[in-house]
Amino acid sequence: MLRGLIVDWGGVLTSDIRGSVGRWADRHGVDLKAYGQVIGQWLGPDGELEAMLNPIHALERGEIEVPHFEEILAAELTKRTGAHHDPHELLQGMFEEFEHAHDMNALVRRARQKGIRTALLSNSWGDFYPRDLWDGMFDVVVISGEVGMRKPEPGIFALTLDQLDLPATECVFVDDLAHNITAGAELGLVGVLHESYDQTLGELQALFGIDLT
């Protein structure tokens, strides 16, 4: 019997990450190809480079502050393009392009109203979250930078499940990144790879056996 729903934030409760980053790059004059090369180099093909070599992992675990990460990112972009990039509020500008996904947020609220325990599990790039919109939405909120762990590390899933007071086998995990879904499934979570509202709604209704419309 499934009783818990764990959801990601960026790309699930917001607009598509690729589109949001594309709008940011256009608005701020960032070379999107260069940005993709930098991020790809840090993350690697499976998102599993060590944090000591990976500023993204360090940021997500709260091991470096946003301004430091912005300086590293701006320097890498400048090195690749030859154009100056101002690190000041680089990430704030990015997250201003993330749009609230009203349909997905409403779906989580309806699930909780139906008696399903809900949790947010997010890898953070600073605190740019619309926390004022979460009142009454989650039983548990786990932000990577606040707990010193990040997806797909087993510990952050274990912490979330402990706070939900539910075993992994009784929880569904929704994320837009396949390697996070795989990591959760290895621990017993039922994974749903989010691609669209209609697809995720259909899968959740089938898994929980209730109407969530």
7-19 pLDDT per residue, tens: 999 999 998 888 8
pLDDT at 53: 60
What local confidence, expressed as pLDDT, does residue 158 receive?
A: 98
- Any idea what DSSP says for residue 49? -
Q: How many CB atoms lie within 10 A of CB 78?
A: 15
pLDDT tier, 198 (very low <50, low <70, confident <90, very high otherwise): very high
Encode 145-180 in three state secondary structure.
HHHCCCCCCHHHHHHHHHHHCCCHHHEEEEECCHHH
Cα angle: 13, vertex 122, 200; to 5 degrees: 40
* Chain centre distance of CA 44: 17
Of 115-119, 128-132, 139-143, 160-164, least confident by mean pLDDT is 128-132
What order of strands is seen across the sheet that includes strand 4-7? 140-143, 117-122, 4-7, 171-175, 190-193
Residue 46 has pLDDT above 60, yes or no: no
Q: What is the pLDDT of residue 21?
A: 85
Question: CA dist 139 to 6, 118, 150, 190, Å?
Answer: 10, 5, 19, 19
Question: Residue 89: what pLDDT?
Answer: 82
Choose between 158 and 46: higher pLDDT. Answer: 158
Residue 122, beta-bridge partner list: 143
Domains of the chain with bracketed CATH: 4-15+100-208 (3.40.50.1000), 17-95 (1.10.150)
Task: Give tens-digit pLDDT for 84-138.
Answer: 888 888 888 888 888 999 999 999 999 999 999 999 999 998 888 999 999 999 9
* Higher pLDDT pick, 98 / 196: 196
Average pLDDT estimate for 75-83: 91
pLDDT band at 37 (very low <50, low <70, confident <90, very high): confident
**Higher-pLDDT residue of 83, 44:** 83
pLDDT at 134: 94
> How does the average pLDDT of the chain come out, rounded?
91
pLDDT at 65 over 80: yes
* Predicted model pTM: 0.85
Tell which wins on pLDDT, 141 or 15: 141
Does pLDDT of 27 surpass 90? no
Contact 164, 139 (CB under 8 A): yes
